[in-house]
Amino acid sequence: MDILELLETFRAEEATIQRLFGNEGQGVRSSPKAVAYQSRLVETTQFVADILEGRRPVHHLREAMTTSDFPLLFGDVLDRQVLANYREWPSVWSAYCKRATVADFRWVSRFMISGAEAVLDEVPQQTVYPSSHLDEALAEYRVLKYGRRLPFSWETMINDDLQALQDVPQRFGRAARRSEDKYATQLHVDVNGPHASVYTVGNKNIITTNALLTIVGLQTAFTVLAAQVDADSEPIMIDAVI
């Protein structure tokens, strides 16, 4: 018996055209693409029969069904995830900068006193102690305000099913640390490299020979660093090098 006749007559009392399509469908053989349809139907029938009779493994049927066979089911389903944030480089500015607190946004003065720390001279009997002196320097600065905001609605927070907005405080904290690091770095480094007002011949912190990042270059750098002295020409104690 023809497979089409079998399909059209099987359980006809339950699967009528009127019941299935509401008088809007049509018979299989009346389709304008009946020839191609018949070929695909015969191929599909043979495929299923081979699986049922054991001539094909069952997984062939599972592999034949993909997301393209269910456009409504898989069309709006998305695999979503929130990727991790990059971490900034560890902050080191507090190792070589002094932290202080100010009362407001007005200019503040910071005084640096140096001197009277040189090695003491021997004083003979009934001799006046030699006098010394102090040097002073002044630095002035003022605090500025930095910040930003993220304007999103309460509905956006409620709809945040991936919890992507819950780390906003951590993001702002990371931005604050990066701002501090940049400000501290710009005190001794500019767009051209070492800051010209910090690295001078008078400060004895310029390496003119063996300036490459090699073992010999590092030895030269430590030699130059160890040769630095304070206002009394005394060696500067260096606990660590950043």
Beta strands in the chain (DSSP E): 108-114, 135-141, 189-190, 193-194
CA distance 146 to 130: 51
Q: Which of 76-80, 121-125, 190-194, 224-228 has the highest mean pLDDT?
A: 121-125
pLDDT digits (tens, 9 = 90+) for 200-229: 888 888 888 887 888 998 889 888 888 888
- pLDDT tens digits, residue range 9-19? 444 445 555 55
61 vs 3: which has the higher pLDDT? 61
Count of helix runs (H) and strand runs (E) in the chain: 8, 4
Binning pLDDT at 50, 70 and 90, where does residue 32 land?
low
Instruction: State residue 12's pLDDT score.
Output: 46
Average pLDDT value over all residues in the chain: 80
Q: What share of the chain is helix, strand, coil (3-state, %, to 5)?
A: 35, 10, 55
Residue at token pair 């040097």? 135
Across the range 85-102, mean pLDDT stands at: 86
Q: Is the pLDDT of residue 6 over 70?
A: no
Phi, psi of 60 (to 5 degrees): -65, -35
In this predicted structure, what is the pLDDT of residue 10?
43
Q: Report DSSP letters for 187-218, one per residue.
A: TTEETTEE-TTTS-TTTT----SS-SSSHHHH
- How much is the pLDDT for 190? 92
Question: Do β-strands 108-114 and 189-190 pair in parallel, antiparallel, or remain unpaired?
Answer: unpaired
pLDDT confidence band for 29 (50 / 70 / 90): low
Q: Token pair of 124, please? A: 């003979």
Confidence of residue 27 (pLDDT cuts 50, 70, 90): low
* Mean local confidence (pLDDT), 40-52: 79
Chain position carrying tokens 């010394």: 132
Tell me which amino acid residue 190 is: D
- Tell me the backbone φ, ψ of residue 24, rounded to 5 degrees: -105, -5
